Each structure stands twice: as C-alpha cells, then as structure tokens.
Amino acid sequence: MTSHPVALITGGSRGLGLALARALAERGWRVVVDGRDAARLAAAAAATPSLLPVAGDVTDPDHRRALADAAADLGRLDLFVANASELGPSPLPRLADAPLDAVRAVYETNVIAPLALLQLLLPPLRASGGTVLTISSDAAVEAYAGWGVYGPSKAALDHLTAVLATEEPSVRAYALDPGDMRTEMHQRAFPGEDISDRPPPEQVVPAILRLLDLRLDGGRHRAADLATAAAQETAGTAR
C-alpha cells in the first residue's frame, strides 16, 4: 500500500490527460493511466516512472476492471479523472447526417464508460474523501453547428457529475471545461485548419491543480475562470 496519493486518469497517453498525469507525478502522486495505443502509453510511462500504464479501451468492461484493480493494488484512490473522450466523425457532421453507430460510440466513451468506472471506483473514493473530475467542453452548454454529437454527450456527462455531487457528499465532483487546446482531437474537429493559436494542454494544468488544491465547491468550472482568479490574486499580492 502506497502512502502517496493515487490518481486514475483515463486517456492518459497524450494531451491533457498526460499533461495532468505528469504534473501530479511531479507532486509525488502515483498515477494509473490508460490509453488505446499501448506503445504510446508505454512510452509516456517510461518517461515518468511513477505512472502506471494499463493499456485498453474504456468501453471494454474487462479493461475498466483492470483499471480498478490497478488502483486497488496501490491501496487507495484519491482522484478519478474521466478524461478519455471520443469526438465522433471528422469532419463534424450536422445532426441530419450523423451516423447513429458513431453517435452510440461517442456516448459509450463519453458517458457510459465514466459511469461504469465510477461504479467500480466509488468505494475507494468514498474511503479517501476523494475527488471525481470529468473533462467537459464549452460545446456542452453552447449550440455550435456540427457539434451535435459530441456536445450533448458532454452535457450528459456534466449532469451526471452534478447528480454524483448530490448523491455522494463524501466525494467532491467537478466538471471542468478546459477551453480550446492544441490537441489531436481538436485538430480532428478542424481538419486542415491551423490550430497553432490554441494553447497546449500543459497551460490548462495549473487551473486544474488550483481546483484540486482549493477544494472548491463541486459543480461545473471553467479553466479560464480559475486562471483569471489566480492572476487577480497574484496581482493583489504584488501590490
């Protein structure tokens, strides 16, 4: 059993999941991470030895059990981050043209899988007074043409997180909108476009750490608001 805090982050082989996993590892956490690309996941873990890679797809029940078992082997669980996401078809289709099999796949990854993992992970999270962090999107609350497959799945995940906060008073539950980021998934949403003006996911991590450190009230938060509050505090201290 480890004395270090333990996190489980899905979609941890790249993007925001990997950036957050590395930041937590630098703080002394042990972090269970998963990803569908086993070679990529292994390379990420090799660069950060305190990451424990478990390759697989979150829509697979056996893989979800393997993730829960990996956390159990570490003796505790303090944080579950539901970060793995499926965008759906690219280019983004209008609702009239959205293939229903692709819609089902998006909901399986973005809604069903996080709930199924929660059901496995709630006992250790309750025991630690831990935190659940689901990664949302502005498309969950704004109606953008072409985002009618992905956005509603994130809206469902937001509401699932809000209900969890009501039902589980010993567990803090946050939905976080990280804002636009320079990631592979965001590039797929804008094929052929230059997204170099978007910030890398590493720039979002301080906002997440602030959310976790301050143990703010559960609910939906925006990384941009957390960053603004931090900047204002810094400016006030400097006066």
Burial 12-37, CB ≥16 within 10 A → b, else e: bbbbbbbbbbbbbbeeebbbbbbbbe
Task: Assess contact for 175 and 157: CB atoms under 8 A.
Answer: yes
CA gap 194, 153 in Å, rounded: 26
Catalytic residues: 150
The C-alpha atoms of residue 4 and residue 22 are separated, in whole angstroms, by 15
If DSSP codes are grouped into helix, strand and coil, which group holds residue 9?
A: strand
